[in-house]
Amino acid sequence: MNSRRKPAEVLAESRRQDSRAKRQRVLATVDQMLAQGDPVTFAAVARTARVSNWLVYADGVREHIEKARGQQASRPAQERLTRATTSSSSIRTDLELARAEIQALRQERDQLKGVVQRSLGQQLEQVASKDLVTRIDELTRHKHELTARLNQVQGENSELQRRLRESEDDVAAVRSNLRRMIRSGVQAEVS
């Protein structure tokens, strides 16, 4: 076997290694741009990774860039804008507005809570105690029926589990007998 490689093989291997290194650099650049929140475009990736525009459109690389672009597109536009343009005074203003809105919502919630409580109180007063006793009796009877059904199903389940264990034991015995029969049949043929 010839251990020396031809110059063309050496050159081809060198090109393959260079291509793999560039592709890995492009993928790492895309991940870094995603992590930093930089907009991922084909041109920006090629420029940042210092590779040709052709490479970023190549199979295996293009899909990774398109996936990253999709992830960025799914982020709210407000999140992308606030990262770049938010100042401390605007944050304070937003905080004060949010606090005022929270306070207004709490007041509205308390008012609605009071309305609901009054409405429920009126409904309870309208329901006669006789209706409540009848409903309680119905629910108690239904509970007893469900409990009896549960006990019956649990008993059936126990019986089925017992029968399953018996069947498994029978299958194991049949297998054991079959093995013995096969062994004795093989030994009889050998003799």
Whether 2 is in a domain gets the answer: no
pLDDT of res. 28: 94
Looking at the structure, do residues 187 and 147 belong to the same domain, yes or no? yes
Q: Tell me the C-alpha distance between 98 and 103, whole Å.
A: 9
pLDDT of res. 1: 46
Looking at the structure, do residues 33 and 64 belong to the same domain, yes or no? yes
Looking at the structure, do residues 81 and 34 belong to the same domain, yes or no? yes
Whole-angstrom distance between the N-terminal and C-terminal Cα of the chain? Answer: 54
Q: For residue 85, is pLDDT > 60?
A: no
Looking at the structure, do residues 133 and 181 belong to the same domain, yes or no? yes
Whether 1 is in a domain gets the answer: no
Number of domains forming the structure of the chain? 3
Looking at the structure, do residues 107 and 175 belong to the same domain, yes or no? no
When the pLDDT of each residue in the chain is averaged and rounded to a whole number, the result is 86
Q: What is the pLDDT of residues 12-67, one digit of tens each?
A: 888 889 889 999 999 999 999 888 888 899 999 999 999 988 888 988 889 999 99
Whole-model pTM above 0.85?
no
Residue-number span of the structural domain to which 15 is assigned: 7-85
Q: What is the pLDDT of residues 150-166, one digit of tens each?
A: 999 999 999 999 999 99
Looking at the structure, do residues 114 and 72 belong to the same domain, yes or no? no
Rounded CA Rg of the chain: 38
